[in-house]
């Protein structure tokens, strides 16, 4: 058998070329003229520059000729010129409009050259007749359960899986819905505490405290405290402005105080503890549309629907502040010792929303329809009973008449 010259394989980096190039004993024809071949790959061909006068982007028709024992295989191809390098004397072309048969035949020829096999004409015909299709792989069917117990177990697993999916979906929807509801309709108070209407008694001048009323209750007009002026000057006596409880003492007898410094804090006997809560200025408009307060105390007690005192008018001074104060009734009995304790307050504005108003209208409409339907049914039943009673009376009278005759 005649020996063929060994083929040379040239590899390039993957970023430069997709397919390896081969140097094979073959010919290339363009317009009937031979063109020296440098190398060949599945995706294109490289020829010498002086044999072609083309520019990048041109489409040329070429014929690839492969010599075998006793015959020569020709394969017409179309190629696009990608580059023409004068430095390397090379024209690189890429095969375009390649049919599946052309691709199969080119791969077969390259593999035959590389393996050194003798290619016969029948082999080429088999490759040309080969269809570029693959069989669809059949998926094996799942075995059906046999017996009542196996069927019940499979059904139970299926129901458990569906149940888990439904439960996860419900939890996810609930989580998202809760977040949306809190963002749209819940206003948490920035700060809240228990307080009362207090009166702070300051020192009228610099001096020494010589008298402070004892006890926790003081009547209106009673002496409250006495301040001795510096260097034995005249004393100043302050009387109680109300019937009050002493809420706090900031100084004692014989202490020196400065003018304006707080000495006592009083709370009127008629004043009850209440809650003040501050909300952001950006949520004031939502608050005015209607809100329900929920208060949680330090002992864990939670009170819902806490009454909200009449909301004060929103003034320019409030607009300049960063928060808006709201007064709340405590909703439970509080001791005086609770004054000053912090609490947690949350405002629910859903009651003043359009969705709530629409829901109430729909509920009222359904109630009206239910009441009207019940009334009509009652009237119909009353007429039926009256008609039946009349028929029974006529029949009874007829029987009496018949017996008398």
Least confident of 100-109, 152-161, 229-238, 291-300: 229-238
Tokens of 52: 């072609």
C-beta of residue 197 within 8 angstroms of C-beta of residue 173: no
pTM over 0.75: no
pLDDT of residue 5: 47
DSSP 132: S
**Burial group, residue 377, by CB count within 10 angstroms (0-12, 13-18, 19+):** exposed
DSSP label at residue 43: S
- All structural domains of the chain with their residue ranges: 8-129, 197-268, 274-354
> CB 349: neighbour CB atoms within 10 A?
19
Extract the tokens encoding 359. Answer: 């829901």
Q: What is the CATH number of domain 8-129?
A: 2.40.10.220
Q: Taking 50 as the threshold, does the pLDDT of residue 334 lie above it?
A: yes
Sheet of 191-195: strands edge to edge?
191-195, 274-280, 323-328
Distance between CA atoms of residues 196 and 338, nearest Å: 10
**Residue 179 has what pLDDT?**
80
* Max Cα–Cα distance, the chain, nearest Å: 143
Predicted confidence band at 80 (pLDDT cuts at 50, 70, 90)?
very high
Choose between 29 and 391: higher pLDDT. 29
Lowest mean pLDDT among 70-74, 278-282, 313-317, 370-374: 313-317
> Which whole number is the average pLDDT over 149-165?
87
| Cα gap 153→148, rounded to integer Å | 9
d(CA 161, CA 53): 70
> Alpha-carbon distance 401 to 64, whole Å?
126
Dihedral (C-alpha) 313, 314, 316, 321: value to the nearest 10 degrees?
Answer: 130
Task: Convert 19-39 to b/e letters by CB count within 10 Å (16 or more is b).
Answer: eebbbbebebebeeeebebbb
For 326-364, the three-class secondary structure string (H helix, E strand, C coil) is EEECCCCCCCHHHCCCECEEEEECHHHCHHHHHHHHHHH
Q: What is the pLDDT of residue 12?
A: 44
- Interatomic CA distance for residues 324 and 343, integer angstroms: 17
d(CA 360, CA 14): 71
One DSSP character per residue, 186-211 reads EEE-SEEEEE--EEEEE-SSSEEEEE
SS3 319: helix
With a pLDDT cut of 70, the percent of the chain lying above it is 77
Q: What is the pLDDT of residues 14-62, one digit of tens each?
A: 434 567 888 888 889 888 888 888 898 888 999 988 777 788 888 999 9
DSSP assigned state of 308:
B
**CA 26 to CA 23: how far, in whole Å?**
9
Q: At what angle do helices 121-129 and 100-115 cross, to 10 degrees?
A: 140
The confidence band for 317, taking pLDDT boundaries of 50, 70 and 90, is: low
Q: What is the pLDDT of residue 405?
A: 37
Report the pLDDT value the prediction gives residue 2, as an integer from 0 to 100.
46
pLDDT at res. 167: 92
Domain 197-268 has CATH 2.40.50.100: yes
Query: What are the tens digits of pLDDT across the range 263-299?
Result: 888 888 888 888 888 888 777 777 666 778 888 898 8
- Of the CA atoms within 13 Å of residue 282, those in its CB half-sphere come to 5
DSSP 368-382: HHHHHHHHHHHHHHH
Instruction: Give dist(CA 183, CA 178) in Å, integer.
Output: 8
Binned at pLDDT 50, 70 and 90, residue 360 comes out as low
């Amino acid at each position: 058998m005649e020996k063929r010259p060994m083929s040379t394989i040239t590899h390039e980096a993957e970023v430069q070329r997709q397919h390896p190039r081969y140097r094979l004993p073959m010919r290339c024809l363009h317009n009937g003229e031979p063109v020296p071949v440098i190398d060949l790959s599945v995706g294109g061909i490289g020829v010498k520059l002086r044999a072609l006068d083309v520019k990048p982007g041109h489409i040329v028709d070429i014929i690839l000729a492969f010599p075998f024992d006793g015959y020569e295989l020709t394969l017409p191809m179309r190629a696009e010129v990608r580059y023409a390098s004068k430095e390397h004397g090379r024209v690189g072309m890429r095969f375009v409009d390649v049919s599946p048969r052309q691709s199969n035949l080119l791969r077969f020829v390259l593999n035959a050259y590389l393996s050194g096999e003798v290619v016969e004409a029948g082999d080429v015909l088999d490759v040309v007749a080969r269809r570029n299709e693959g069989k669809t792989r059949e998926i094996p069917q799942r075995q059906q359960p046999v017996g009542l117990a196996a069927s019940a177990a499979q059904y139970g697993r299926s129901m458990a899986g569906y149940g888990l999916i439904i439960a996860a979906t419900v939890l996810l929807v609930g989580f998202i819905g809760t977040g949306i509801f809190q963002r749209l309709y819940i206003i948490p108070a920035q700060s809240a505490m228990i307080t009362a209407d207090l009166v702070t008694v300051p020192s009228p001048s610099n001096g020494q405290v010589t008298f402070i009323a004892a006890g926790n209750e003081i009547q209106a007009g009673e002496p409250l405290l006495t301040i001795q002026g510096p260097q034995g000057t005249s004393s100043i006596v302050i009387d109680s402005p109300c019937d009050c409880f002493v809420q706090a003492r900031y100084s004692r007898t014989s202490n020196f105080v400065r003018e304006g410094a707080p000495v006592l804090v009083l709370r009127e006997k008629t004043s009850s503890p209440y809650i003040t809560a501050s909300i952001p200025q950006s949520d004031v408009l939502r608050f005015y549309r209607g809100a329900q307060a929920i208060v949680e105390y330090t002992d864990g007690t939670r009170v819902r629907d806490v009454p909200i005192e009449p909301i004060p008018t929103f003034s320019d001074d409030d607009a300049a502040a960063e928060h808006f104060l709201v007064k709340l009734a405590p909703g439970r009995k509080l001791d005086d010792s609770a004054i000053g304790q912090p609490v947690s307050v949350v405002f629910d504005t859903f009651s003043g929303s359009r969705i709530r108003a629409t829901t109430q209208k729909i509920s009222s409409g359904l109630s009206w329809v239910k009441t009207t339907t019940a009334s009509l049914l009652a009237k119909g039943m009353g007429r039926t009973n009256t008609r039946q009673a009349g028929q029974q009376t006529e029949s009874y009278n007829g029987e009496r008449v018949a017996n008398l005759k």
